[in-house]
Amino acid sequence: MTVLSIAARIFNEREGENIPAIYGTVTTGTTWKFLKLEGEVINIDLPEYYLNNVNKILGILASGLNEVEK
């Protein structure tokens, strides 16, 4: 996942897009993990979120979308 986030940043830079943060998600379908790449720093949300807590997962996804819209 980290490699994909860095690749996305490089792609955006080459396209002339200055994107301050790239958000990522890894899921098995029932277990979810989240990360955020800002510059050279990768923040990994350490807890695993399980599908039985879908409201929390949707809240995290919505939070990332809200930051992007700002």
pLDDT tens for 11-41 read 888 898 888 888 888 999 899 999 998 888 8
- Residue 16 structural domain: 2-69
| Residue 18, pLDDT score | 81
- What residues contact 8, with CB distance under 8 A and at least 6 apart? 22, 37
For residue 1, give the amino acid letter: M
Each residue's pLDDT tens digit, 49-65: 999 999 999 999 998 77
Distance CA 33, CA 53 (A): 13
In total, how many domains does the chain have?
A: 1
The whole-number average pLDDT for the span 2-8 is 76
| Residue 40, pLDDT score | 82
